[in-house]
Amino acid sequence: MSVLIKGGRIVTAADDYVADVYVEDETVSLIGESLDMSADKVIDASGKYVLPGLVDPHTHLDMPFGGTVTIDDVESGQTAAAFGGTTCHVDFIIQPQGSTFADAFADWRSKASGKQVIDMGYHMAVTDLEEGGTLEELASLPDEGITSYKLFMAYKGALMVDDETLFRTMEVASETGALVMVHAENGDVIDVLVKQALAAGNTDPIYHALTRPPEAEGEATNRAIQLAHLAGAPLYVVHVTCREAVEPIALAREKGWDVWGETCTQYFFTSLDDIAKPNFEGAKYVYSPPVRDKSNWEVLWNAVRNDDLSAISTDHCAFTWDGQKTLGKDDFSKIPNGGPGLENRLHMIHEFGVRSGRISLNRMVELLATNPAKLFGLYPKKGTVAVGSDADIVVFDPERKFTITAADQHSRTDYNLYEGTEVTGTPEVVLLRGNVLVEGDELVASPGIGQFVPRARFGQELRAKVVA
Ligand code: URP
Ligand code: ZN
Ligand code: ZN
């Protein structure tokens, strides 16, 4: 299928110009002025932005967690993503303790079978390493296109690893060219604080935040940075929420260490005021690391502006409020941790980042698409609009008003963190490799169109095809 996108304002991380884009064989084959070739589909993009399809480096679809399973499977989660302009994401495979990585990978691939709406890759979350087994197997994952290892420094008794496993994984990464990712919170300290809170009869959702203080995030962030430096591995800190974690990342980057950090949409907009809401409403805001004091919002905006933090993900880990979050009605520690977000990352960051003058349009594209693609071995196949790249394109109407509401969303959860927020600017057409995925309010393509994308090793490029 060929597509001609006429007269749009092409915005990449580096450029901003008006031109036509011609798409053939799933890739961008020509960009120029007044292109007049015939095409199967012509899109008038005058007055619109032509953005690269967004890349979300942090999602959890169909994942067993917290005594239940995330409510969005690959089909519903990716449909929500597509409507939000995200055309590629990297999901977490969780290695069940004692399992091989090969079995875990096969399991996650089978969950996606026939359901993929957008393209996807995987990180491997390491929970358990055995010498003479998974320790050696870990080294072979980059050959399968899984080029990042994730470790949880929290969730004691579930996903948490000790420093030995963390460090050994970092050593393997330094050999294999994988990127190490950490959920940085001190799980031992949190475990003590949670037990003390429950013993004192403090069971409300707010205690989720009060038992996971910023110092626990700051300490783990710094520990991971020092250990990764010792091991010689590149490090990416996921879902950074507060000054205590931004500062050690900024310091490491100033020293030229291979350290990057990400924050998530929700941490710019939600706070202790939300998790304190009465009648168990606060449970909607239970995710980890937790919501923080509002003073951290500007800390995060500054950090994404000055590149102390280099990406904004969603950490989409959706549960229903009624039925799943309520598992913790009488005990905050039983509330499944996670929140929804795949559908509204672009809406929120465009409105409150770009339109409010906090970041430029180019920087928005860099944070939501280009940097995630570069860091996770997807660039330049993904993350930009350029000749030879996959024709993953969002035609974005910067003038159309849109009200965010759970009633109209595509995620299966029953609430939205940004309920009732009015934004100006929303995707109008979304293309995946030149195929129309979304047009207006319609999902045009059928599940099955999305593909698994084997990713390049850290620092290497991934090309769609060589264009003559
Ligand atoms: O609360 C969260 N963030 N749930 C998803 C798992 C994780 O820690 O990223
Ligand atoms: Zn996490
Ligand atoms: Zn996560």
As a whole number, the mean pLDDT across the chain is 98
And the tokens for 320? 């229903």
> What is the mean predicted confidence (pLDDT) over 329-333?
98
What is the C-alpha to C-alpha distance for residues 255 and 6, in angstroms, rounded to an integer?
A: 45
Please state, in angstroms and as integers, the Cα–Cα distance from residue 371 to each residue in 13, 53, 309, 430, following that order.
9, 13, 10, 20
Backbone angles phi, psi at 181, to 5 degrees: -115, 140
Confidence bin at 464 (pLDDT 50/70/90) = confident
106: CB partners within 8 A, 6+ apart: none
Q: What is the pLDDT of residues 222-267, one digit of tens each?
A: 999 999 999 999 999 999 999 999 999 999 999 999 999 999 999 9
Which residue is it, tokens 């595509």? Answer: 410
And the tokens for 237? 């800190």
Contact 255, 248 (CB under 8 A): no
Pocket lining: 317 vs ligand 1, CB cutoff 6 Å: yes
Centre of ligand 2 from the C-alpha of residue 288, in Å:
6
Confidence bin at 97 (pLDDT 50/70/90) = very high
- Determine the 3-state secondary structure of 330 from DSSP: coil
**What's the N-to-C CA distance of the chain in angstroms?**
19
- Pick the residue whose CA is nearest to atom 4 on ligand 1: 338
Q: What is the pLDDT of residues 398-452, one digit of tens each?
A: 999 999 999 999 999 999 999 999 999 999 999 999 999 999 999 999 999 999 9
Pocket lining: 183 vs ligand 1, CB cutoff 6 Å: yes
Which residue is it, tokens 């970092």? Answer: 170
The closest alpha carbon to 404, from 240, 269, 205, 209, belongs to: 269
Best substitution site from 264, 287, 314, 332 to test ligand 1's pocket, by max atoms within 8 Å of Cβ?
Answer: 287
Centre of ligand 1 from the C-alpha of residue 146, in Å:
20
What is the C-alpha to C-alpha distance for residues 191 and 220, in angstroms, rounded to an integer?
A: 14
Contact 390, 38 (CB under 8 A): no
Contact 43, 6 (CB under 8 A): yes
- Pick the residue whose CA is nearest to atom 7 on ligand 1: 288
Which residue is it, tokens 């599940």? Answer: 447
Pocket lining: 287 vs ligand 1, CB cutoff 6 Å: yes
| Helix, strand, coil percent values for the chain (each to nearest 5) | 35, 25, 40
Q: What is the pLDDT of residues 278-293, one digit of tens each?
A: 999 999 999 999 999 9
> What is the mean predicted confidence (pLDDT) over 100-121?
98
- Determine the 3-state secondary structure of 69 from DSSP: strand
The pLDDT, as a whole number, for residue 466 is: 47
What is the C-alpha to C-alpha distance for residues 336 and 457, in angstroms, rounded to an integer?
A: 33
Which amino acid type is present at position 278?
P
Pocket lining: 60 vs ligand 1, CB cutoff 6 Å: yes
Q: What is the pLDDT of residues 371-384, one digit of tens each?
A: 999 999 999 999 99
Please, what is the angle between helix 243-254 and helix 295-305, to 10°? 20
Per-residue b or e along 282-318, where b marks 16 or more CB atoms closer than 10 Å to that residue's CB? bbbbbbbbbbbeeebbebbbebbeeebbbbbbbbbbb
Please state, in angstroms and as integers, the Cα–Cα distance from residue 160 to each residue in 180, 199, 332, following that order.
15, 23, 19
Phi-psi region of 380 (alpha: psi -120 to 50; beta: other; left: phi over 0): alpha
Which residue is it, tokens 């690269």? Answer: 52
Contact 285, 291 (CB under 8 A): yes
What is the C-alpha to C-alpha distance for residues 429 and 435, in angstroms, rounded to an integer?
A: 10
> What is the mean predicted confidence (pLDDT) over 13-25?
98
What is the C-alpha to C-alpha distance for residues 398 and 426, in angstroms, rounded to an integer?
A: 7
Alpha-carbon Rg for the chain, nearest whole angstrom, is 21
465: pLDDT strictly greater than 80: no
The closest alpha carbon to 448, from 198, 42, 133, 113, belongs to: 113
Say if strands 41-44 and 49-52 run parallel, antiparallel, or are unpaired: unpaired
